[in-house]
Amino acid sequence: MLNYTVDGEGIATLEWDYPDKAQNILNHASMTTFVETCRMGLGDASVKGLLVCSAKKDFIAGGDLAELAGAHDAAAFHASIGDWHKFLRALELGGKPVAAALNGSALGGGMELALACHYRVAADNPKARFGFPEVTLGLLPGAGGTQRLPRLIGMQAAAPLLMEGKRINAGEALKIGMIHAVVTGGEERQAARTWLLGAIASGERPLQPWDRKGFKIPGGGPNTPHGMQMLMAANAMLREKSFDNYPAPKHILSCIYEGLATDFDTGMAIEARYFTNLALSPVAKNMIRSLFFGMQDANKLASRPTGVAQQKYSKIGMLGAGMMGAGIAMSTAAAGIEVVLLDTTQEAAEKGKAYAAKQWGKQAARGRLTQQAMDALLARIHPTADYADLKGCELVIEAVFEKREIKAEVTRKAEAVIGSDAIFASNTSTLPITGLARASSRAANFIGLHFFSPAEKMPLVEIIVGKATSEATLARSMDFVKAIAKTPIVVNDSRGFYTSRVFGTYVSEGMALLEEGVPPALIDKAGLIAGMPVGPLALADEVSIELVHKIAQQTRADLGGAYVERAADRVAAKMVVDLGRLGRKSGAGFYDYPADGHKHLWPDLARHFVQKVGAGDTATPTLDEIIERLILVQSVETARCLEEKVLRAPIDADVGAILGWGYPPFRGGPVGWLHTLGLPAALAALDRLARQHGPRFAAPQLLRDMAARGECFHG
Query: Which residues bind to ligand NAD, rule: CB under 6 A?
Result: 319-325, 342-344, 348, 399-402, 406, 409-410, 427-429, 450-451, 453
Written as one letter, the residue type at 381 is I
| Dihedrals phi, psi of 98, to nearest 5 degrees | -125, 130
Question: Residue 344 CB, nearest distance to ligand NAD (Å)?
Answer: 5
Question: Residue 406 CB, nearest distance to ligand NAD (Å)?
Answer: 5
* Rounded Cα distance, 354 and 49, in Å: 61
Find the helix or strand (DSSP H, E) in which 12 lies. Answer: strand 11-16
Nearer residue to ligand NAD within complex by CB, 254 or 429: 429
CB-based contacts of 61: which residues, under 8 Å, 6+ apart?
A: 23, 24, 25, 105, 107, 108, 110
Give the residue at shortest CB distance from ligand NAD: 322
Question: Residue 352 CB, nearest distance to ligand NAD (Å)?
Answer: 7
Question: Residue 297 CB, nearest distance to ligand NAD (Å)?
Answer: 24
Give, in order, the Cα–Cα distances in Å from 183 to each of 125, 180, 188.
9, 10, 6
**Active-site residue, 450 included:** yes
Question: Residue 476 CB, nearest distance to ligand NAD (Å)?
Answer: 21
Burial annotation 49-65 (CB, 10 A radius, 16+ → b, else e)? bbbbbbebebbbbbbbb
* Rounded Cα distance, 182 and 201, in Å: 23
From 450, 549, 675, 714, the catalytic residue? 450
Residue 143 near residue 88, CB atoms below 8 Å: yes
Written as one letter, the residue type at 219 is G
Task: Write the Ramachandran bin of 165: left for phi over 0, alpha for psi from -120 to 50, otherwise beta.
Answer: left
Give, in order, the Cα–Cα distances in Å from 305 to each of 300, 309, 479, 605, 690.
12, 10, 11, 51, 39
Nearer residue to ligand NAD within complex by CB, 337 or 342: 342
Question: Residue 241 CB, nearest distance to ligand NAD (Å)?
Answer: 27
Question: Residue 326 CB, nearest distance to ligand NAD (Å)?
Answer: 8
DSSP string, 92-130: HTSSS-EEEEESS-EETHHHHHHHTSSEEEEE--TT--E
* Rounded Cα distance, 110 and 536, in Å: 41
Residue 317 near residue 396, CB atoms below 8 Å: yes
Nearer residue to ligand NAD within complex by CB, 320 or 656: 320
Nearer residue to ligand NAD within complex by CB, 176 or 323: 323
Nearer residue to ligand NAD within complex by CB, 215 or 401: 401
User: Could you report how far apart the first and last alpha carbons of the chain are, in Å?
Assistant: 30
Nearer residue to ligand NAD within complex by CB, 410 or 530: 410
Neighbouring C-beta atoms of residue 269, cutoff 10 Å: 17
Q: Is 579 helix (H, G, I), strand (E, B) or coil?
A: coil
Nearer residue to ligand NAD within complex by CB, 81 or 484: 484
Residues labelled as active-site residues? 450
